[in-house]
Amino acid sequence: MGIDITSAEVADFHQVLTDHSRYWGGRDLRSLHLLALVQEFGSTCLVARAGDGIRGYVFGFVTPDATGYVHLIATRDDARGSGLGRRLYAAFAEAAERQGARRLKAITSVGNTGSIAFHRRVGFDVSVIADYNGPGRPMAVFRRDLPLPSVGLPHR
């Protein structure tokens, strides 16, 4: 069964929210899912679709300073470890580059060790920024230059 990575549609956004626990387990991150991202930045909001539904997604946009910012990236529980996260990042990087992005950026909580490890594996530099999300709220900030080399994040 193949997986196609395509621009997210409004119906995809609603399906992701319906299946939220399949992507995020016990963490409730529904408040971070903003339909406006899909509506306004459709070319950089992508879903990985297979015959059995949406296996993963990335919602992001390109900032005025040429940064492809990944707001959310997730793979469904049965797709983890398959390389899909890498494929989603590669597809996002390609879409962001078409819009003039020269670098990628993402953030997560300092306690999200799984995300930190994943981003390091795919070549991001990570730094912890104190007060990034307000006083006493540090965040792990990931950065990576574009274009991506042919190794690391495979193109689809």
Check if the beta carbon of residue 93 is closer than 8 Å to that of residue 68.
Answer: yes
pLDDT(153) > 90 = no
Helix (H) or strand (E) run with residue 56 in it:
strand 53-62
Q: Which domains does the chain have, with CATH numbers?
A: 4-145 (3.40.630.30)
The SS3 of residue 138 is coil
Q: How far apart are CA 18 and CA 33, in angstroms?
A: 12
Q: pLDDT band at 107, cuts 50/70/90?
A: very high
Check if the beta carbon of residue 143 is closer than 8 Å to that of residue 124.
Answer: yes
Q: How far apart are CA 95 and CA 87, in angstroms?
A: 12
Q: Which residues sit opposite 58 in a β-bridge?
A: 46, 73
The two beta strands, 139-145 and 125-129, are antiparallel
- pLDDT reported for residue 155: 41
Phi, psi of 63 (to 5 degrees): -85, 165
Q: pLDDT band at 151, cuts 50/70/90?
A: very low
Residues 40-97 have pLDDT tens digits of 999 999 999 999 999 999 999 999 999 999 999 999 999 999 999 999 999 999 999 9
Q: Is 88 left (phi over 0), alpha (psi -120 to 50) or beta?
A: alpha
Helix (H) or strand (E) run with residue 22 in it:
helix 20-24
Residues 1-32 have pLDDT tens digits of 599 999 999 999 999 999 999 999 989 999 99
- pLDDT reported for residue 149: 73
Q: Is 62 left (phi over 0), alpha (psi -120 to 50) or beta?
A: beta
Q: How far apart are CA 73 and CA 16, in angstroms?
A: 11
